[in-house]
Amino acid sequence: MKVLITGGGGFLGNQLARKLITRGTLTGPSGAQEPIDAITLFDAQFSDASKQGLTGEVTLLDRDIADRDAVFDAIDRDDIAVFHLASMVSGECELRFDDALRVNLDGGRNVFEACRARGGMPRVVFASSVASFGGAVMPEVVSDATKRTPQTTYGMTKVIGELMINDYSRKGFLDGRSARLPTIIIRPGRPNTAASSWASGMFREPLRGEACELPVGLDQGHPVLGYRDVIDAFIALHEAPAALLGDDRAFGLPSHRITPASARVVLEEVARERGMALGPLVLAPDARIQGIVNTWPTATDGSRAVGIGCPAPQPLRVMIEEYLEDFGS
């Protein structure tokens, strides 16, 4: 079977490809484990780092997700699994509304329509976000039963994607599942334009001995999940039998609620044991970023996802140690 990963040039898409190369099989249209004979990574651009170490039948497609023909060309087999991760991030969406609609909405519809046109009713895993929630009705801890009233353009596009996955699955056009992600840490590289970029930066930069400018307060609560856990969750959602999913196929992933202050305590413990000198956290309040973050939940109930096979989150200490193992400081 073939696997298509949109957003395959990004961190999570690239990590997912590497895990699937090692795994070698997924549940195919037959309902049995089938060997993966081709993996296509679809993205607007690929860094040199994203290309290194990829082995086997991996194709990189430098294409625009809003280009309908390019998406249909990539979804060219009935025996295909699709992981739709391509998206503009939160900060970009607030600044570039029309582009957000073109990429996140038109791009998602292109993927779903291309799958609908195939004969195999492919399994599709869509990456959604806790930014789906917000507003005055939002409780401190959100679950799959919480009303979705997003207060950002990014969150709005994710809610629509979840609803489309539900309806396309109901109609038998595809076999979809949505993973509602908390903030994923620790991402390597440099900060990006996501409003949650600080959640990785407050670990990554200090581990390099560099200062991290923190746009939110030290007591800002935030739900986080390690990148290894989310990759395993993507695969678990793909593998879950349709009979377990019910009529709402959007599953909020579990997370840890941390603050910069509490995270710093764990980071200092790891650094002390390893003899590392940490860079400082520097308060640099940013009203725009803080305003976006204020619309997001601070904790998630992921019990429904765990119930169908998604992993419970590793301890924060383990997330830090995994990052050091995979990417160093």
Active centre residues (catalytic): 154
Rounded Cα gap, residues 121 and 77, in angstroms: 11
- Cβ atoms of 250 and 144 within 8 Å: the answer is yes
Residue 32 to residues 163, 174, 177, 249, Cα–Cα distance (Å): 28, 17, 18, 21
Query: Furthest-apart CA pair in the chain: how many Å?
Result: 57
Q: Is 257 exposed, middle or buried (0-12, 13-18, 19+ CB in 10 A)?
A: middle
- Cβ atoms of 187 and 204 within 8 Å: the answer is yes
Q: At 268, which amino acid appears?
A: E
Residue 112 to residues 9, 83, 183, 253, 310, Cα–Cα distance (Å): 20, 11, 25, 22, 24
Element at 70 (helix H, strand E): helix 68-74
- Which two tokens mark 301? 């109930």
